[in-house]
């Protein structure tokens, strides 16, 4: 089953790393569906049912984004808030639609690895900064790879 790559970069044309990742992934359309949130929803109005169906049609989910103020860009946060709904992604009435999915992150930070260590510029690891995504995956019964 194909992997869904949800890309969230507010200025992809000026990106080096994220743009390169996408170019490479698009060479394998039988393996990956690249879904750019800023391109799909320039007005910021997300079609929740369409997005949930898209996730359900894929076996794995990768969230690709640059680190923004120790979080994801706003469109991805909006997408997570609106798509990962109680009763669909988690909750007692849910089918836990992400339960069988592997979830991974493809994150660019734009700074050196040494900045993400205890005592470094940000006094914490990238893994610590991204912990909310791991918790989200666990709540939705997915597995963060």
pLDDT at 143 > cutoff 90: no
Q: H-helix or E-strand containing 20? A: helix 17-25
Compute the radius of gyration of the chain from its Cα atoms: 15
Average predicted confidence (pLDDT) for the chain: 91
pLDDT at 25 > cutoff 90: yes
Q: Which residue has the higher pLDDT, 7 or 109?
A: 7
Task: Give dist(CA 131, CA 4) in Å, integer.
Answer: 21
What is the per-residue pLDDT for 93?
75
pLDDT at 79 > cutoff 70: yes
Q: H-helix or E-strand containing 128? A: helix 126-129
What tens digit of pLDDT does each residue of 41-58 get?
Answer: 999 999 999 999 999 999
> Which residues pair with residue 33 across a beta bridge?
4
pLDDT at 111 > cutoff 70: yes
Q: Which pTM was predicted?
A: 0.92
Domains of the chain: 3-141 (3.40.50.360)
What is the per-residue pLDDT for 145?
58
pLDDT at 94 > cutoff 80: no
């Amino acid at each position: 089953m194909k992997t869904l790559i949800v890309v969230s970069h507010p200025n992809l044309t000026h990106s080096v790393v994220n743009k390169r990742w996408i170019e490479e992934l698009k060479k394998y359309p039988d393996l990956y569906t690249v879904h750019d949130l800023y391109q799909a929803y320039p007005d910021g109005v997300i079609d929740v049912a369409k997005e949930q169906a898209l996730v359900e049609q894929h076996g794995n989910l990768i969230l690709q984004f640059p680190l923004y103020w120790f979080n994801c860009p706003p469109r991805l946060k909006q997408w997570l808030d609106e798509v990962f709904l109680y009763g669909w992604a988690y909750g007692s009435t849910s089918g836990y639609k992400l339960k069988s999915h592997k979830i991974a992150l493809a994150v660019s930070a734009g700074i050196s690895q040494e900045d993400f260590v205890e005592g470094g510029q940000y006094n914490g690891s990238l893994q610590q900064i991204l912990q909310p995504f791991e918790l989200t995956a666990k709540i939705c019964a997915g597995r963060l790879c």
